[in-house]
């Protein structure tokens, strides 16, 4: 990822498609880190719908404000809303922090906006994490109906055994 736009880079179910800032690079081979310079937006597409997104960020220079907008589609047409992730300021060079958010509605695209205080401010993302599990929590009514069904089956078995004894 070099120049003002980065190429498509896949990372276990997420694809980083472009960064609109001054520069974007991948630093390191064993544990790659996204390194971005200047104000811009990082677009991330997901293979499966996700509900949580987070990353470890390392500010290399200056204060940065972060925000994100998520979309129900990969084209970026069906916006589910945006969230201000607040300003990020580190006391020392290379200090890290975790930034993340969750959504009630699953999304397939996220646009993460970085706005450093200075024009050439840089920002690194490491340990990009997201939840793509299909695990859902059943509604209380569903659980109640399942327990009622099991109770009825148990009663039917009990009656069958009683009838066969007589």
Domain borders along the chain are: 9-134, 136-166
> What pLDDT, in 10s, does the model give residues 65-76?
888 999 999 999
Res 6 pLDDT > 90: no
Q: Which superfamily does CATH assign the domain made up of 9-134 to?
A: Galactose-binding lectin (2.60.120.430)
> What pLDDT, in 10s, does the model give residues 77-100?
999 998 888 777 665 666 777 888
pLDDT for 7 equals 40
Q: Dihedral (C-alpha) 84, 90, 93, 98: value to the nearest 10 degrees? A: -60
* DSSP at 138: P
Let me know if 3 is exposed, middle or buried by CB neighbors in 10 A (0-12, 13-18, 19+).
exposed
Most confident of 7-11, 12-16, 132-136: 12-16
Q: CA-CA distance, 59 to 102, in Å (whole number)?
A: 22
Average pLDDT over residues 115-134: 73
* Partners of 73 in the β-ladder: none
Let me know if 106 is exposed, middle or buried by CB neighbors in 10 A (0-12, 13-18, 19+).
middle
């Amino acid at each position: 990822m070099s120049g003002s736009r980065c190429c498509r880079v896949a990372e276990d179910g997420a694809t980083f498609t472009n960064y609109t800032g001054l520069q974007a690079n991948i630093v390191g081979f064993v544990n790659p880190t996204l390194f971005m310079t200047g104000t811009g937006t990082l677009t991330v597409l997901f293979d499966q719908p996700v509900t949580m997104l987070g990353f470890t960020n390392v500010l290399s220079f200056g204060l940065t404000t972060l925000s994100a907008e998520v979309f129900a589609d990969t084209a970026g047409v069906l916006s589910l809303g945006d969230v201000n992730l607040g300003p990020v300021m580190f006391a020392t060079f290379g200090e890290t922090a975790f930034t993340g958010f969750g959504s009630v509605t699953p999304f397939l695209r996220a646009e993460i906006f970085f706005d450093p205080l200075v024009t050439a401010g840089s920002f690194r993302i490491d340990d990009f994490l997201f939840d793509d599990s299909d695990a859902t929590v059943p509604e209380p009514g569903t659980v109640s109906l399942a327990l009622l069904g099991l109770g009825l089956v148990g009663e039917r078995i009990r009656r069958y055994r009683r009838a066969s004894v007589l």
